[in-house]
Structures are given as structure tokens and as C-alpha cells.
Amino acid sequence: MPDIMPFRALHYKQETMNHAEKVLCPPYDVISPARQQELYELSPCNAVRLELPLESDPYQAAMERLLEWSRIGELVRDAEPAIYPYMQTFEDAEGAVYNRTGFFCAMRLHDFVERKVLPHEKTLSGPKADRLNLFRKTKTNISPVFGIYADPDKAADRQIAAFASSNPPLIDAVFQDVRNRMWKITDKEIVEKVRAGLQHRTVFIADGHHRYETGLNYRNERAAMNPAHTGNEAYNFILACLANMHDEGLIIFPIHRLLHSLEQFDALAFRRQLEQYFVVTELPHREALKRYLADEPSIYAYGVVTREYMLGIVLKGSPEELLDHATPDSLRKLGLVALHEIVLGRLLGITPEAMAKQSNIKYIKDEAELYAAVENGAAQAGIVVKPTTVQQVVAVSESGEVMPQKSTFFYPKIMTGLVFNPLD
């Protein structure tokens, strides 16, 4: 386990935290231009003005705003180090209620080769350059990395639950249909028990790969410029929200695929191609497809939706025989790898570069949006996928491999604006 430390958080003043739904925002990578504008209008102090400013020089704007909000007392720094328990209560599409518990802390940055913190997805250079510019200007972690660890005994969870049950939260706000509650623990004995409960455990990055790698790059920059570098400076740590993978509220939703802009795409010819590799079942409606995927035990099962048909398909051969022999074993056990290699690559000719650039593919979380895009002609076909499991994330991470782009959607997102982490 990497070192996890209490830290002196920078956060909104209590009067603002009493109405935190006005100042919270999602992380930058899920904020559309329309949502960005809505968040700007929600409050003159919404965290989007730090996380993703609209100004032509967003990094300078974020820095100036951070300094100004601190000067006028809108943002305040805690006097003593703390960890910050965080609970999110939400419903899934079926109306089932979940409660996910984690806590904010400062987590020591480790290179992946040290195997104390492990990734599971690929990163792109563009977002890392953007976040590095924000780190450099603000010298602050604006939004956290989300990490998960395995503790079946739930030692840290028990400490947090006991504290939360007997203390009122600092924040209790509903944002985008998710209830967000946050506490502050300064008691050194409790903090140490939480830390002890996580000893010798690996952290797997669930969300925030670009932020974590940016943290590494920023640490290296600062260390190189500091002749008195000791390894214990604030820039050696990153703001993290950690949760136990054995928490019943840790949910991964699927990310579906929309196909578009494919030259000479023929839906009927595509169906015949699919029959080479899959057992194909025609289905009458969305509910039937939903039941098909729920009942089909194979991880290599998918839904295919076009204007002409709706299909349930399941791989009819052995993945060991059908997939590229160079594909590592941990990746062969992922349904998305078979989908990308056989359907998108082999049958439709979409290259890995085109997938990364989304030249012919769009990744969406809302299944209703998939059906609407196919019906209105915005997409030529939609692929409905099963969710990746936590166990698959861990297996791929431990193997040293990474999953295909957009393999996981841990829901809900950790909100930005609860706490910030100064790096000076």
C-alpha cells in the first residue's frame, strides 16, 4: 500500500458547503460544453471555474480564481491534517438504492513499476498535457484520483462507519440525483486505525488515470527543481478518494459503443459476417435484449442494434482459438477485447488508431441514447455490452496489462469541489 496521509484540505467556507449542490461539479473529462455553461450559471463559485474554466487561458484563470477565493475567505484551509469520509447514495436504472463509502486522503505517488498503485486503462497525451498545465499554475489538486483496494475484513470501513454514525456531515448535498455526504476526521487514533487497515494493500486506479500520471510528471518536475528535495514534500502526494472493492456500493456500469461514419456499411451484410463467429438470436424489443444479456452466462455476449434488426450474439468458438495469439491471457478473458478485435477490427476494419480517435466509434453510457442514435440515423449501429467486473479490473491490473479504451464506468463519479489539495 502506498503511504496515505491526512492532509490540510482547502475547501469552501461552511456557509457555502451548506449549499454544496451549487458549487460541486463532475471531473473535467465528463463535462460537455453545454454542462460547462450550466455549471457556470449555477454559481459564481462553482468548482468548474477551477476544474475547467471557460477563459481563453484556463490555467491562468484557475490560478487567479483560486488566489482570489482564498483571499476573500470563500476558500479556507483546515488548521490540522484530516481524512475526509465520503458517502454517495444513488439509484441504478432499476431503482435499487446503493451507498458507496470512501475517504479523501493524500496518497503518496508511486511509479507503476513499484506495483503499489496500478492502472487498468490506457492514457492519452492530450489530457495529461492539459492537467499538467493546471497543476503547474494552481499548484493544487483540484479533483481527486479514485482508487480501490481489497479488504474483505473492512477494517477501515468500520472505523469510518462508526464515526459517521455519531457525527453530522460537513456536507450533505444532492447533485445530479446523487446524495453526497462528507465528514472530517482529525482524531489521530482513528486516522491511524484507518491507515493500519490499508497496510500491505495495492491501490488500483478506478478513475483518474490521466490525473495520476500527471501527478507523477509534476512530482518529477518539482523534485528536479528542488535541490533540497526529501520525498516528503506535498507534491510527492496526490489527492485521492479510496474505497474498498468489497463495498456493496461499488458499481461498474457498462460503456456501450455507437458505430458511425463507416463507408459502405450494410446492416444485412454485417449480420451475415457476425454469423461466422457468433450464435445470433433475433430479438423483438429492448426488454428482450436486456433479458438476453442478463441470462447469458458468457462474458462474450453482446447486443447489436440497427434500424433493421436487434440481435443478441454470443461467441461460438473458443476465445483462445479466435483471438490473436499475441493477446495476453488476462485480456482474452475480457468481453470488450473480443468485441474490439473480432467485431470492430476484423469484421468492420476499424483500426486501433481510429478507435482511439473515435473516428468511427462513440462511447456512451446511456443505453437509451444508443437506441435513439440508431433510430434517428446518427449512428449506423449500436453495440450493447455487459459491464466489466471489479475482479476483471484487478486481474488485468495485476498482470501489468491495460484494458481497451472506455472499459469501465465507476458510478457515480467522485465530485470535484468537496476538498482541494494544495501542493506547496
CATH code assigned at 307: 3.30.1760
0.95 surpassed by pTM:
no
| Cα radius of gyration rounded to whole Å, the chain | 23
CA-CA distances (angstroms) from residue 349 to 345, 354, 360, 370, 385?
A: 5, 10, 10, 21, 20
Instruction: Evaluate whether residue 108 is within a structural domain.
Output: yes
Instruction: Evaluate whether residue 46 is within a structural domain.
Output: yes
Instruction: Evaluate whether residue 405 is within a structural domain.
Output: no
Residues 6+ apart with CB under 8 A from 317: 277
Instruction: Evaluate whether residue 394 is within a structural domain.
Output: no
Whether the per-residue pLDDT at 332 is higher than 80: the answer is: yes
Domain of 336 in residue numbering reads as 255-386
Total count of domains within the chain: 2
* Model pLDDT for residues 248-261, shown as the tens digit of each residue: 999 999 999 999 99
Instruction: Evaluate whether residue 395 is within a structural domain.
Output: no
Same domain? For 133 and 172 the reply is yes
DSSP states along 238-272: EEEEEEETT-TT-EEE--EEEE---TT--HHHHHH
Instruction: Evaluate whether residue 184 is within a structural domain.
Output: yes
Same domain? For 123 and 145 the reply is yes
Same domain? For 225 and 283 the reply is no
DSSP for residue 388:
P
Same domain? For 259 and 142 the reply is no
Same domain? For 107 and 179 the reply is yes
Q: Which residues pair with 102 in a beta bridge?
A: 86, 243
Same domain? For 55 and 154 the reply is yes
Instruction: Evaluate whether residue 397 is within a structural domain.
Output: no
**Residue 95, burial from CB neighbour count under 10 angstroms (0-12, 13-18, 19+):** exposed
Whether the per-residue pLDDT at 333 is higher than 90: the answer is: no
Q: Residue 201: what pLDDT?
A: 92
Same domain? For 235 and 327 the reply is no
Average pLDDT over residues 111-124: 89
Percent of the chain with pLDDT over 70: 100
Same domain? For 366 and 279 the reply is yes
What gap in Å lies between CA 17 and CA 15, rounded to an integer? Answer: 6
Instruction: Evaluate whether residue 318 is within a structural domain.
Output: yes
Percent of the chain with pLDDT over 90: 83
Taking the alpha carbons of 320, 326, 330, 331 in that order, is the dihedral positive or negative? negative
Same domain? For 224 and 305 the reply is no
Same domain? For 207 and 232 the reply is yes
Cell of 69: 477565493
Same domain? For 83 and 151 the reply is yes
What gap in Å lies between CA 84 and CA 107, rounded to an integer? Answer: 13
Kindly report the length of the chain.
424
Same domain? For 323 and 355 the reply is yes
* Chain centroid offset of residue 209 CA: 8
Taking the alpha carbons of 285, 286, 288, 289 in that order, is the dihedral positive or negative? positive
* Model pLDDT for residues 271-299, shown as the tens digit of each residue: 999 999 999 999 999 999 999 999 999 99
User: Range with the lowest mean pLDDT among 62-71, 85-94, 214-223, 280-289?
Assistant: 85-94
